Homo-oligomer: A and B are copies of this chain.
Amino acid sequence: MPDAFDDKLTAARAASLALATATTDLKNTALEAIAAALEAGSNEIIAANEVDLENGRQNGLSEALRDRLRLTPERIVALAGAVREIVVLADPVGQSIRGSKLPNGVRIDQVRVPFGVVGVIYEARPNVTVDIAALALKSGNAAVLRGGSAAESTNRVLASLIQDALASAGLPPAAVQTVDEFGREGGTRLMRARGAVDVLIPRGSAGLIQAVVTESQVPVIETGDGVVHIFLDASANEDWAVDIVHDAKVQRPSVCNAVETLLVHEAAAERLLPAVLGRLRASGVTVHGDEATLAIVADGVPATEEDWSTEYMSLDLSVRVVASLDEAMEHIRRYSTHHTESIITNDLANAERFLNEVDSAVVMVNASTRFTDGGEFGFGAEVGISTQKLHARGPMGLPELTSTKWTVRGSGQSRG
């Protein structure tokens, strides 16, 4: 017997059919209505958020997690602004990717279509609720959201405001639904809903993502963590090395494209490390160095085996001296999460080898790893950064939230 959970997925499927044929104008009207509803509902959202924050305090939620959970009038205005930014993005649905006329006169075209129903499993960050709802809507997908339990009250109000806005624009409210009321079971059932959910996107900690990718029977887009490397080659320009490593570590250490491990060619270690690490230390970075590093720059802590596979997301950096480009690439092969790696070099052959042989979503020469970002890549908005090889790899924009179909137009042709 279908239960309340199944009913939600059935409603999502029905809504997805309406969304798939909705015009861009209609979807944009709905996005504008959502932005306005968030602003008009600011007091209601904040009241619900206060309940979640108070529960968080009582349950010992850390101040950092409570800060991610917290919504303020300013943050709600920013959320509404982010929704309006999606209005101006190109609608991927209906875009032709390729097409041709076959010798027998049959015309074939590959066109972008929505996935249908997208499931999202994430943590207690209410901004994700709004972001993903808006991105899914613009790409013609119904969204079924399982947010963190710690944000349940906030998400309930956000979903309700979004649903009212959808209805006011003439779209089915079930296009955006939460399944938070089912608790952990909500996430588990999303992972088993093959056929009812077309794609599942986990967003959050490495642990959450690993659990989903190994347990899900629904195809998953993995937006992974980043153990990101920069390799200073023997010929690296000192100014570039200093600036890029500082930017990649310090500009925003808590994000996945921040560098976590610095590899240095032994022929350049004495020339580069004092300036590179000096600049970092001035910004409060703790160096976890191997023996060779600490022989050159004394004030660090010894790196442990664990350091090489740690995504610090903080002002910490592991540093290792290597004998060659090959040793650097071997280290990356072993410890990288295949997100982003960059080489700083003036050697053309080494640059090309690094670009060709390092198997990561984004490989760079002489640029900061912080450029791995949908906004920086010109996508306008970012769905996440995929670290898997199927479907999408690297920063994902709206087109990555679509599938394709082939249309075939004949005039009575048979094959036999």
Q: Which of A26-34, A143-151, A156-164, A370-378 contacts B (4 or more CB under 8 A)?
A: A370-378
Which listed segment binds B: A36-44, A129-137, A401-409?
Answer: A401-409
Q: Is the CB of B406 within 8 A of A199?
A: no
**What number of A residues sit within 8 Å (CB to CB) of B?**
72
Closest chain B residue to A243, Cβ basis: B414
> A17 → chain B, closest Cβ, in Å?
7
- Please give the count of copies of this chain that the complex contains: 2
A391 to B388, CA, bound (A): 11
Interface residues of A in 330-368 (CB under 8 A from B): 342, 351, 355-357, 359-368
User: B413 to A403, Cβ gap below 8 A?
Assistant: no
CB within 8 A of A410: which of B20, B364, B388?
B364
A412–B243 CB distance below 8 A: yes
A12 contacts chain B at the CB level, 8 A cutoff: no
Q: With contacts A106-B371, A199-B390 known, is A366 near B410, CB below 8 A?
A: yes
Residue of B nearest to A220 (CB): B219
Within 284-312 of A, Cβ neighbours of B (below 8 Å) are at none
A221 within 8 Å of B (CB atoms): yes
- Is residue A72 contacting chain B, with contact meaning CB distance below 8 A? no
Q: Is B21 touching A414 in the complex (CB atoms < 8 A)?
A: no
Q: Could you tell me if B116 and A406 are in contact, using CB atoms closer than 8 angstroms?
A: no
**A359-B116, A391-B391 given as contacts; is B403 within 8 A of A371 (CB)?**
no
A2 at the interface (CB under 8 A from B): no
Answer whether residue A64 sits at the interface, using C-beta atoms and an 8 A cutoff: no
Most buried by B among A239, A243, A411, A415: A415
Interface contacts beyond A21-B356, A365-B407: sample of 4 additional A-B pairs, CB < 8 Å, sorted by A? A219-B219, A219-B388, A342-B408, A370-B416
Closest 4 pairs between A and B when the two form their complex, measured CB to CB = A367-B410, A247-B414, A389-B403, A240-B412
Give residues in A with beta carbon < 8 Å to B.
Answer: 17, 20-21, 100, 102, 106, 108, 110, 113, 115-116, 194, 198-199, 213-214, 217, 219-221, 237, 239-240, 243-244, 246-248, 250-251, 342, 351, 355-357, 359-368, 370-372, 376-378, 388-391, 393-395, 403-416
